[in-house]
Amino acid sequence: MHPRLAGDLAAFPALLESVRRLAVDVLDALDDRPAGRSPAPRPALPLPADGAGLAGALATFTDRWAPGFSGSAGPRYLGFVTGGATPAGLAGDWLTGVFDQNAGPGIGSSAGDLERETLGWLRELFGLPPGYGGTFVSGATMSNMVGLAIGREWLGERLGVDVSQQGAAALGETAVFSGAPHSSIYKALSMLGLGRGALRQLPLLPDREAVDVPALRAALADRAGRPAIVVANAGTVDTVDYDDLRAIAELRREYPFWLHVDAAFGAFAALSPAHAPLLDGLAEADSICVDLHKWLNVPYDSAVQFTRRTDLQLKVFSNAAAYLGPLTERPDFLHHTPENSRRLRALAAWFSLAAYGRDGHRDIVTRNIASAQRVGARLAELPGVRLLAPVRLNVVCLALPGDQAEAARAVAESGEAFVTPTVYAGTPALRLAFCNWRTSEADEDRIVAAVRRALP
Ligand SMILES: *Cc1c(COP(=O)(O)O)cnc(C)c1O
């Protein structure tokens, strides 16, 4: 064994203790760490020939890299849709590396059953019936990609072609309808060989990001019986709007289409009694995308996909090889997802759900919604500030007087909060997305103050 490795092995417990100390220091100071930064680019150093051992690497990381990292795990980072990590979620993530299970093949470990148990809990959390199969993937982009891949296979089934054998070209012309799709839908269509151009964006309801259902009906009627894919949205990133999932699902009585629902963070409305009705009809979907590194507050690299057509999913993703063992009644996860070997990313979600249950996670969601509503109302009273949409859930979308990117920079430079710019209905805007389990009323005050100071 290389002497550096041998030394680290001998000192492993003490070294882990020093890593733990750094973690505790970072988390203790999270409240004061600047929420977001724009650090100067750092030149890369050459590959070390002789390494420094874990203690040396930790020292270098602590000095050279850690200070430039954002406080994105903290309570006032409101950029994009960014969750934090609950204590149990973080513990689960650490232990994922400790046990280092390969949750692709099922041979030799109970890790697959832990993933199945966790998927069952999530199904229940979102009010989905047991008929949905699911898997963990790395994020909502991959979840959308997997759902649309199954939809692509379904189009083949309807048209009498086998896409997994013949390729996407065998489908001929393909139509994917959506009102306000997330950018990852275009990316998924590109990856899947359907092409970004397959997406036909439909009219929205006035002053909304929800699709106009009669327009969808007309577009489907135009297909003259040719099957299509419909991507319905449950929680858009700018204004957290929801398509009428029930009305869209009803259209399947008349027209053949695969119904994929992108509920990346919107699915968590299920936990708020006042907002759960937004998801009425979700359980009619053929495939569903839910992100977990957003509102479940587990560390990055976690999302789930659900589908009713596990048979088609296996056609797309099965990965038969003698060394991986036979395809059984209950195929291993490597036959369900783009990956073969994969980390047991269910463990962080398992820990957080085991530790806090439905009620604990409901508390995160309802507190974040209340924060967004209060902050939205307070900011709307500042001179020249306009809310561009009602605060439907956990996102405030507003326009400040002056340049939005400059305002976002001014907020970031204060270190007090981090918000990201967008363009909503042609208007440059800022978004404040509340997604972190730590965010308190004291944080709301600091956020409002930071935005007020950024006004011209
Ligand atoms: C965040 C998000 C995605 C993409 O999720 P990643 O985890 O960043 O891949 C897709 N759809 C919606 C609605 C989202 O909010």
pLDDT recorded at residue 1: 97
Q: Is 436 in the pocket of ligand 1 (CB under 6 A)?
A: no
In this predicted structure, what is the pLDDT of residue 15? 98
Q: Which residue has the CA at smallest separation from atom 9 of ligand 1? A: 141
235: left (phi over 0), alpha (psi -120 to 50) or beta: left
CA distances 246 to 20, 216, 284, 309, Å, are 48, 13, 8, 20
Which CATH number belongs to the domain containing residue 45 in this structure? Answer: 3.90.1150.170
Q: Is the CB of 262 under 6 A from ligand 1?
A: yes
Q: Determine if ligand 1 sits within 6 Å of the CB of residue 267.
A: no
Mean pLDDT (the chain) is: 97
Q: Report pLDDT digits (tens) over 4-49.
A: 999 999 999 999 999 999 999 999 999 999 999 777 888 999 999 9
Tokens 């700018």 correspond to what residue?
Answer: 238
Pairing of strands 303-307, 133-137: antiparallel
CA-nearest residue for atom 13, ligand 1, is 264
The encoded tokens of residue 8 equal: 């680290």
The reply to whether ligand 1 has any atom less than 6 angstroms from the CB of 300 is: no
| Closest atom, ligand 1, to C-alpha of 144 | 10
Has residue 22 been placed in a domain? no
Pair 53, 144 in one domain? no
The token pair that represents 81 in the structure block: 């849709």
Residues of the chain with pLDDT > 70, as a percent, come to 100
Report d(CA 269, CA 281) in Å as an integer: 13
Q: Is residue 52 part of a domain?
A: yes
Centre of ligand 1 from the C-alpha of residue 403, in Å: 26
CA neighbor of 330 nearest in space, from 149, 148, 133, 150: 133
Question: What's the gap in Å between 237 CA and the centre of ligand 1?
Answer: 8
**Rg (the chain; Cα; Å):** 23
Residue with tokens 């229940």: 124
* Strand-pair category, 386-387 with 395-399: antiparallel
Same domain for 54 and 84? yes
Residue having the nearest C-alpha atom to atom 6 of ligand 1? 140
pLDDT value at position 329? 83
Q: Which helix (H) or strand (E) holds 257?
A: strand 257-262
**Domain end among 312, 343, 374:** 343
Q: Are residues 376 and 248 in the same domain?
A: no
Percent of the chain with pLDDT over 90: 95
Same domain flag for 244 and 124: yes
Say if residue 324's pLDDT is above 80: no
Task: Report the nearest atom of ligand 1 relative to the CA of 142.
Answer: 9
For residue 328, the model assigns a pLDDT of 80
> How does pLDDT run across 139-159, given as a tens digit for each residue?
999 999 999 999 999 999 999
For ligand 1, the distance from its centroid to the CA atom of residue 15, given in whole angstroms, is: 36
264 lines ligand 1 (CB under 6 A): yes
Q: Is the pTM of this model over 0.85?
A: yes
Judged against a pLDDT cut of 90, whether residue 237 lies above it is answered with: yes
Beta carbon of 228 within 6 Å of any ligand 1 atom: no
Q: What is the pLDDT of residue 37?
A: 78
Residue 339 lies in a domain: yes
Q: For 167-182, how does the pLDDT look when each residue is reduced to its tens digit (9 = 90+)?
A: 999 999 999 999 999 9
> Is the residue at 9 inside a domain?
no
- State the distance from the centre of ligand 1 to the C-alpha of 79, rounded, in angstroms: 13
CA 72 to CA 79: how far, in whole Å? 8
Cα-to-centroid distance, 264 and ligand 1 (Å): 6
pLDDT at residue 322 in the model: 84
168: left (phi over 0), alpha (psi -120 to 50) or beta: alpha
The distance between the two most distant Cα atoms of the chain, rounded to a whole number of Å, is 71
pLDDT at 29: 96
C-alpha to C-alpha distance for 325 and 78, rounded to whole angstroms: 46
Is the beta carbon of 139 within 6 A of some atom in ligand 1?
A: yes
CB 433 within 8 A of CB 394: yes
- How far is 243 from 253, CA to CA, in rounded Å? 18
Pocket test for ligand 1, best of 81, 146, 420 (most atoms within 8 A of CB): 81
For residues 23 and 85, give the distance between their C-alpha atoms in angstroms, rounded to a whole number: 13
pLDDT band at 323 (very low <50, low <70, confident <90, very high): confident
* 255 lies in the same domain as 164: yes
For residues 289 and 389, state if they share a domain: no
Which residue lies with its CA nearest to atom 3 of ligand 1? 140
What residues contact 352, with CB distance under 8 A and at least 6 apart?
86, 88, 89, 92, 296, 297, 298, 361
CATH, residue 315 = 3.40.640.10
Say yes or no: 73 and 109 in one domain: no
Mean pLDDT throughout 51-66?
97
Range of the domain at 138: 102-343
CB of 237 within 6 A of ligand 1: the answer is yes
With the most atoms of ligand 1 within 8 angstroms of its CB, the residue from 78, 141, 394 to mutate is 141
What value, to the nearest 5°, has the Cα angle with vertex 182 and ends 179 and 188?
110
pLDDT at 325 over 80: no
Q: Are residue 232 and residue 159 in the same domain, yes or no?
A: yes
Kindly state whether residue 137 falls inside one of the protein's structural domains: yes
Of 318, 343, 368, the last residue of a domain is 343
* pLDDT tens column, 363-417: 999 999 999 999 999 999 999 999 999 999 999 999 999 999 999 999 999 999 9
Number of compact structural domains in the chain: 2
Q: What is the Cα–Cα distance from 23 to 66, expressed in whole angstroms?
A: 11
H/E element, 177: strand 176-178
Nearest-atom index, ligand 1, CA of 233: 13
Mean per-residue pLDDT for 444-453?
A: 98
Question: 427: CA distance to ligand 1 center in Å?
Answer: 22
